[in-house]
Amino acid sequence: MLDADTLGEVTGFYHLTKLGNLTVYPATQPEQRIERIFGREIVITNKVVIDRDVMEACPTLKLICIAATGKNNIDLACAEEKGIQVKNVAGYSTESVVQHTFAMLFYLESHLPYYDQYVKDGHYAKSNLFTHLGKPFNELAGKNYGIIGMGTIGKRIAEVASAFGARIQYYSTTGKNLDTGYKAVLLDQLLRESDVISIHCPLTEATHNLIGYEQFCLMKKEAILVNAGRGGIINEAALAKALDEGRIAAAALDVLEKEPPEITNPLFRIRLPEKLLITPHIAWASRESRERLMDGIIRNIADYLGKRD
C-alpha cells in the first residue's frame, strides 16, 4: 500500500494481511515508487501515479488496486499492453458524498456560522427578542435544484432534494443518462433556472472549465453552487470574480483543481469569504465509506488470487 494515510484508520488493513505479505507506506513520493513497487505482485494506490516508467521497471507487477473509483492516475494503455490488471472500487462513497453535499448547502443557505457566532458572542443574551433575523434564509422546498452529472451520485442527490420538496432538473455531461425520471435540460437552461446547482460529474476534456465566467453570468444572483465532483470543472479565477461581483450568492467546494491548493489561489482572496465554503476533499470519506472502500479492495485482491491459483 503506497499511500495509506489517504484512507485514515480502517480495519481492512488487518484483513489484507491474511492475503499475503503486506507492506504499508503512509505516503510515497514520485522518486520512491519504483524502489517500493519493485519485486511486488500487487500494489494498492489511492493517488500515487503508476505510469509506464514504473511498470517497465517492475516486471513482477500483476495487479494494481486503486483505492478510489477514478483510474486517471494509472497508465491504462500500458497496463493492458503488459497484462497488468487494474481494479477500482465503484459506488462505495455515494451516501457520504450526498450527505456532505447537503451539509455544505445548508451551512451556506442557513447562514449557520453567522447565527452560531451571534449567540456565542453574547449578542443573543443581550437581545430583547426570542429570535434574530439578521440573515434571512430560504427553504429548499419549491426551489429548482439543478444537477450536473446524473450518475449514481447525481441520482441519489435528486432523490434527497426531492424529499426536501425541490424540483429537479439535470444536465448529462455525457448525453447518456437521459432515462432517469427527472427533467433533462441543456446546460445554459439549467444555469439560468436553478436556485441550487450541484456538480457530480467526473473531470474529462469535456467538463474541464465547464463552469467559467460566461456561465456564472447566466446564473441567478441568489443561486448557490456546490462542487462535489472534481476540481477543474469550475474555473476558480472565474468563481472568485463572480463571487466578488455578486453574480451568485455563494459557493461550496469540496474539490479544487490542485490539491492541496497553492496559497495564491484567488479563492483565498475574495472580498466576502463567508460566501465561500471549502472543505479538503472529504465528501467521500465518512468512516463507513472508507470501510466499504477497503472491503472492495480486499474483494478485488481475493478475486485476483483465486483466478491466479
Q: 191, 184, 228, 193: which is closest to 211 by C-alpha?
A: 191
How many whole angstroms separate alpha carbon 304 and alpha carbon 294? 15
Exactly one of 156, 167, 192, 281 is catalytic; which is it? Answer: 281
Peptide bond into 136 cis (omega under 30): no
290 catalytic per annotation? no
How many whole angstroms separate alpha carbon 147 and alpha carbon 168? 8
Exactly one of 139, 214, 259, 288 is catalytic; which is it? Answer: 259
281 catalytic per annotation? yes
C-alpha 41, offset from chain centre? 30
User: CB-based contacts of 284: which residues, under 8 Å, 6+ apart?
Assistant: 93, 96, 97
The size of the chain, in residues, is: 309
230 catalytic per annotation? yes
User: CB-based contacts of 5: which residues, under 8 Å, 6+ apart?
Assistant: 26, 27
Exactly one of 230, 247, 290, 292 is catalytic; which is it? Answer: 230
Question: Which residue numbers are catalytic?
Answer: 230, 259, 281
